């Protein structure tokens, strides 16, 4: 969190300087109001709006890397903040009627800020579309950030069961499930150490993703076991896809931190759904994983 905010230190300092300049300009050209002249409702309303704008800036800066979209969003919100800030200053300081810049700051900055913010949100939307396209094989139909796996950029077993249950409702279409288990991963983990073996899992996940179709879904089941949901896929097609996955992983030359190649192999267990629930389908695929014929 701290690192994220420090990326944007420049923007934050600029905002602080601007807010200070506004206060100084007001004090230089106007006079302070007496307590009896203050309208507390206006102060609360305008001050609250300024504070909220500031909070939004903080949240956005904290959750995003630097870049065009972030710059647009933050500039828009900062302009809005300054407009509200000047509005708030009006409540405390009486400016002579000859001074015009405060009107410009209040009424000009507001629409400009809105415009920039709209532009930012539009690009954010485009950016999200691009990210969703990248995520396609890892999440289908609906998003649930709570079922994401902690180690790999995939969804976990809960999401797998939910998706299988949804697919199983479509009874007119065949559905296949493949379980993939890394061969001798227990041994690899001890040889490679925790960092490399975790990275190995993440990279194998990437290799598998590259070899799947648009409609397929890859989840991490547990440990070194992955699950591939193949919708609208019968046995024959599923077997050939499984073989492709096995070959792809066999040709993957994982590099340790020291740059040494560590060969990887997977075992696969295939189950084609017939009239059953998600748990029994998963169980059958898991059982086939251990059988010597591999793809049963």
Smallest separation, CB 60 to other proteins (Å): 21
Rounded to a whole number of angstroms, the minimum distance from the CB of residue 233 to other proteins is: 22
Pick 47 or 157: Cβ nearer other proteins:
157
Distance (Å, whole) CA 58 – CA 63? 9
Task: Enumerate residues 6+ apart whose C-beta is below 8 A from 29.
Answer: 95, 96, 99
CB 179 within 8 A of CB 286: yes
CB 218, min distance to other proteins, A: 15
* Residue 115 or 191 having the CB closest to other proteins: 191
The nearest distance, CB 172 to other proteins, in angstroms, is 29
Residue closer to other proteins (CB basis): 1 or 100: 1
Check: CB of residue 270 under 8 Å from CB of residue 242.
yes
Under DSSP, is residue 82 helix (H, G, I), strand (E, B) or coil?
helix
Compare residues 106 and 203 and give the one whose CB is closer to other proteins: 203
Nearer to other proteins, 13 or 151 (CB): 151
Q: Least distance from C-beta 113 to other proteins, angstroms?
A: 35
DSSP code of 155? Answer: B
Closest to 117 in 3D by CA, of 50, 65, 70: 70
Is 15 in contact with 85 (CB distance < 8 Å)? no
Q: How far apart are CB 264 and other proteins at their closest, in Å?
A: 17
Between 48 and 223, whose beta carbon lies closer to other proteins? 223
Helix (H, G, I), strand (E, B) or coil at 181: strand
> Could you give the residue ranges of the DSSP H alpha helices within 64-108?
68-92, 101-103
Q: What does each C-alpha distance from 101 to 79, 108, 109, 150 come to in angstroms?
A: 15, 10, 11, 53
Given the complex with other proteins, which of 71 and 158 has the nearer CB atom? 158
Copy the structure tokens of residue 258.
């020291």
- Contact footprint for other proteins (CB under 8 A): 150-151, 157, 181, 186-187, 189-190, 194-195, 198, 221-225, 282, 286
Q: How far is the CB of 190 from other proteins (least distance, A)?
A: 6
CB atoms within 10 A of CB 29: 14
């Amino acid at each position: 969190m701290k690192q994220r905010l420090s990326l944007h230190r420049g923007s934050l300092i600029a905002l602080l300087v601007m807010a200070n300049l506004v206060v100084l300009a007001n004090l230089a050209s106007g006079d302070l109001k007496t307590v009896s002249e203050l309208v507390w409702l206006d102060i609360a309303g305008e001050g609250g709006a300024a504070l909220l704008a500031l909070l939004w800036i903080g949240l956005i800066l904290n959750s995003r890397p630097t870049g065009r979209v972030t710059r647009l969003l933050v500039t828009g919100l900062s302009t809005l903040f300054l407009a509200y800030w000047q509005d708030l200053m009006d409540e405390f300081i009486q400016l002579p009627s000859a001074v015009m810049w405060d009107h410009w700051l209040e009424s000009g900055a507001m629409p400009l800020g809105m415009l920039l913010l709209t532009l930012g949100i539009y690009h954010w939307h485009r950016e999200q579309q691009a990210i969703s396209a990248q995520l396609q094989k890892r999440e289908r139909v609906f998003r649930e950030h709570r079922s994401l796996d902690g180690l790999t950029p995939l969804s976990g077993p809960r999401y797998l069961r939910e998706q299988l249950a949804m697919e199983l409702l479509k009874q007119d279409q065949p559905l296949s499930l493949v379980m993939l288990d890394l061969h001798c991963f227990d041994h690899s983990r001890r040889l490679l150490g925790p960092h490399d073996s975790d990275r190995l899992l993440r990279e194998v996940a990437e290799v598998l993703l590259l070899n799947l179709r648009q409609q397929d879904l890859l989840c991490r089941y547990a440990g070194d076991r992955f699950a591939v949901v193949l919708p609208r896929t019968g046995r024959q097609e599923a077997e050939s896809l499984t073989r492709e996955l096995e070959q792809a992983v066999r040709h993957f030359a994982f590099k340790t931190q020291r740059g040494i190649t560590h060969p990887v192999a997977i075992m696969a267990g295939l189950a084609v759904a017939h009239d059953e629930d998600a748990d029994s389908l998963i169980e059958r695929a898991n059982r086939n994983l251990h059988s010597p014929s591999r793809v049963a």
